[in-house]
Amino acid sequence: MEAIINFFTGTLNTVAWLYIFLPCTIVGGLYLTIRNRGIQFTRFGYAMKNTVGKMFQKQEAGAGAVTPLQAVTTALAATVGTGNIVGTSQAIALGGYGAVFWLWLAALLGMMIKYSEVTLSIQYRERDAKGDWVGGPMYYVKNGLGKHWQWVGILFCVFAAIASFGIGNMGQINKIVLNMKSAFFGGVTATVGGMSVVSLACGIVLMILAALIVIGGLQRIATVAERVVPFMAVLYIIGSLIVFFTHISSVGAMFAAIFRFAFGSKAVAGGAAGIAIQQAITQGCKRGVFSNEAGLGSLAVLHGMSEGKGRLRQRQEAQKQGMWAIFEVFFDTIIGCSLTAFLLLCVFPHNLTEKIDSLGGSGAVAAALAARFGNAGGIVTAACMVLFAFATILAWFYIGDQALGWLMRDVPQKRADKICILYHGGYLASVFLGCVSRMEAVWAVSDIFNGLMAVPNLAALVLLGRKVRRPER
């Protein structure tokens, strides 16, 4: 068993990311950026004006749809999760200061990739049998590329349905339990059948809460996301900024180290330098993508459910939602992940790796906040992790459910309903399993299926690149 875990966490994971997914992401991102003349840079101000500037305007959605704000917050719920805290800290621990630079690069390319995903999702979406809007990579493959490319959509949906159990569920829920143990139940050591009582109790409670929300369907998930995401984001940002400005004198040295170590100057010899560069690039890009999910196609599914204003043409609505996609990557990675990186690098400039090794990613963040806020720092971290991760679980349930539904579109209704019920039950059961299981292999498999999701999606984006249009002023 140990050998299998090592294979997934080591060899297979490295090959999948370093030689398949990262090259596809970089090539696809550069192609789309050049073709659209870098709209993530040239239209950035315009995108922010028409997203953040209009975020809280009152909007209504019809039956079977959600408002653009609900679509955005649900999308952010899927991305703003443990990747922002744990993923960023792990990237720095494994790839050094330089991983932050490559995380930023992944975000800059990711803005263009996600813009393309979302605009195509809106352009090629459909109404399902219930009259609800549905979209995503499988729809722009089907309606944009034609029936001869259906296998690309099938591959995406298979990988997305499987990935939902890892990236969107067990990996997230495990971090919730670890943080709750550390913050609130550190002294409880009782076990039942070799499993922690705290883990068992958390598993049962969280599974019930998830069931109550997901049974309510899309609109209940969107409503919860609309209320939870802004609160948790503001809470974490304020705490991180206070610590950041407390250590403002070390910011210059920190930025210098990020750019210097991005190219392996941390190493002392040629071979070691090559390894350092590889680790910085791999970990920075991997965790950047893990956090903002650009290239995976998952958030195109969530944006496809948005109902815009009736007077907007389909292309205009697609471009509007695409600007929200640019904002999402900016907020998630450039702001969210960067704040985590700055927090850790400012507070622990000389012993960060040791801190992460001994305390874990979220534990190191809690310790950094505790340096300024005392015990409240650990509570804030735990609260943010719980909210981040739980919102991600809800959003990924919808993504996996939509992927499975598309695969079952030609299956007799009764059989399709049974398969969907099995998926729903399995997903909720995974919430419980994530609380009590070892997670090394789960995280590794999640990384692999993330990459596998991205390959067919990026292929479709490149093939449909000519259909992506710049935002109209």
Amino acid identity, position 123: Q
pLDDT, residue 265, reads 47
pLDDT, residue 137, reads 92
**What is the per-residue pLDDT across 169-184, written as a single tens digit (0 to 9) for each?**
887 777 777 777 766 6
Q: Is the pLDDT of residue 274 over 70?
A: no
| Distance in angstroms (rounded) separating the CA atoms of residues 403 and 168 | 14
| Distance in angstroms (rounded) separating the CA atoms of residues 455 and 461 | 10
Please, what is the average pLDDT of the chain? 76
Q: Is the pLDDT of residue 269 over 50?
A: no
Task: Please give the average per-residue pLDDT across 373-393, as a whole number.
Answer: 76
| Cα–Cα separations (whole angstroms), residue 276 to 99, 135, 358 | 10, 40, 22
pLDDT, residue 141, reads 92
Strand partners, 195: 192
Q: Is the pLDDT of residue 326 over 60?
A: yes
* Number of CB atoms found within 10 A of residue 180's CB: 21
Per mean pLDDT, which of 5-19, 105-119, 205-219, 346-360 is the most reliable? 105-119
Q: Is the pLDDT of residue 243 over 70?
A: yes
Q: Is the pLDDT of residue 63 over 50?
A: no
Greater model confidence, 405 or 291: 405
DSSP string, 263-308: TTTTSSSHHHHHHHHHHHHHHHHHHHHHHH-TTT-HHHHHHTTB--
Split at pLDDT 50, 70, 90, the class of 271 is very low
Per mean pLDDT, which of 83-87, 290-294, 380-384 is the most reliable? 380-384
pLDDT, residue 285, reads 60
Q: What percent of the chain has pLDDT over 90?
A: 7
Instruction: Calculate the dihedral angle through the C-alpha atoms of 375, 378, 380, 385, rounding to the nearest 10 degrees.
Output: -170
Q: Which helix (H) or strand (E) holds 317?
A: helix 314-329
Q: Is the pLDDT of residue 95 over 80?
A: no
Task: Please give the average per-residue pLDDT across 265-283, as a whole number.
Answer: 45
pLDDT, residue 56, reads 55
Q: Is the pLDDT of residue 473 over 70?
A: no
Within its chain, how far is the Cα of 15 from the centroid?
A: 21
Domains of the chain plus CATH, in order, are 2-467 (1.20.1740.10)
pLDDT, residue 276, reads 46
Greater model confidence, 465 or 14: 465
Collapsed DSSP state (helix, strand, coil) of residue 192: strand
Q: Is the pLDDT of residue 248 over 80?
A: yes
- Global confidence as pTM: 0.82
